[in-house]
Amino acid sequence: MLPDIWRRPWLGSGLFEEMDREFAEAEDMLSRMFRTVRDITRTSTDTLAEFPYYYGYQITVGPDGRPRIREFGNVKPAAKGLVEQRGVRQPLVDSVLDEKEKILRITAEMPGVNKEDINLNITDQYVTIHAEKGDKKYHADIPVDVALDESSAKASYSNGILELKIKPKESSKAKGKAIKIE
């Protein structure tokens, strides 16, 4: 005989039903996307069918405590779960401000290019990475929240991984002046 607790409906069971509905909707969307990709690659005669499709996103928490979402891949979701091809891939990028070492470290995966093919640019609001070699094309605009010392930037590229290290600018301490009240 089952205990009485198993016969009673659980409090908050609607939460699990809602989660089931959300997962079912996500599964339907993914199924539509994969069917669309499969149909495109079957009917395509150009280079579209030669490369794998991938799409993802990275969620991080910024210094202000707010989540940041970055997309990467060579396709992107479109209306009604369709996938559209993009010629330039946004690489997976990770950026970490190491306050102990006082350095911003940006890492990007970009296989298939040489270091000579990579262009880096630093502005007040973004670090831009661009690389091109044959059919491999990468581009990313990485937002930065701190002022950077461009002269301290050092970059290395090995085994498809770009690593960029930049020191933040030293914040000038405001000098105070006592003001006499009349």
pLDDT higher than threshold 80 for residue 155: yes
Cα 94 to Cα 61, 171, 182: the distances in Å are 12, 24, 55
Per the model's pLDDT, the better-predicted residue between 107 and 40 turns out to be 107
Per the model's pLDDT, the better-predicted residue between 132 and 64 turns out to be 132
pLDDT score for 15? 65
pLDDT score for 171? 65
**What is the phi-psi region of residue 59: left when phi exceeds 0, alpha when psi lies from -120 to 50, beta otherwise?**
beta
pLDDT higher than threshold 70 for residue 50: no
pLDDT score for 175? 64
Q: pLDDT tens for residues 55-65?
A: 777 777 777 77
pLDDT higher than threshold 70 for residue 156: yes
Domains of the chain: 13-87 (no CATH), 91-170 (2.60.40.790)
Q: pLDDT tens for residues 73-119?
A: 766 666 555 455 567 888 888 888 888 888 989 999 999 899 999 99
Rounded Cα gap, residues 156 and 80, in angstroms: 41
